[in-house]
A = this chain, B = another copy of it.
Amino acid sequence: MMARFSVTYWLDAPNADEARQRASDIALEQTVEIPRDIVPAGYVEDEILGRVEDVRPGTDERGGFLAEVSYSDDDVGGDFLQLLNVVFGNSALKTATRVEAMTLTDAIGAICPGPRYGSEGLRLRTGRSTGPILMSAIKPVGLRTRELADLAHQFALGGMDMIKDDHGLANQHTSPFSERLNACVDAVGEANAKSGFNTVYVPNITGPANQILDHAFEAQEAGAGAVMLAPALVGLDVARTLSADPAFALPIVSHPTFGGANVITPTTGFSHGYYFGLLSRLMGVDAVVYPNFGGRFGFSEAECRSIADHCSMPFGNLKAILPAPGGGMKLESVPAMREVYGDDVIYLVGGALLREKVDLPGACRRLIDAVRR
Contact = CB atoms under 8 A, between A and B. Distances in A.
Interface of A: 25, 29, 31-35, 38-40, 43-44, 47-48, 74-82, 84-86, 88-95, 139-143, 166-168, 170-174, 206-210, 212-213, 230, 233-238, 240-241, 245, 256-265, 268-270, 291, 296-299, 327, 350-351, 354-355
Nearest to A43: B142
A173 B142 contact: no
A181 B358 CA distance: 63
Contacts of A299: 93
Interface class of chain A by DSSP:
loop
Nearest to A74: B172
10 contacts: A35-B355, A48-B141, A79-B206, A81-B206, A81-B233, A82-B168, A85-B258, A90-B257, A95-B298, A233-B236
Copies of the polypeptide in the assembly: 2
Given A206-B82, A297-B93, A297-B94, A261 B257 contact: no
Given A75-B172, A92-B258, A93-B298, 17 more contacts: A35-B355, A38-B351, A38-B354, A79-B208, A84-B258, A85-B206, A85-B258, A89-B257, A90-B167, A92-B261, A93-B256, A207-B237, A208-B241, A209-B212, A212-B237, A234-B235, A261-B269
Contact of A237 (B74, B234, B263, B350): B234
Contacts of A81: 170, 206-207, 230, 233-234
Contacts of A39: 140
Contacts of A245: 210
Given A206-B82, A209-B235, A235-B235, A173 B77 contact: yes
B354 A34 contact: yes
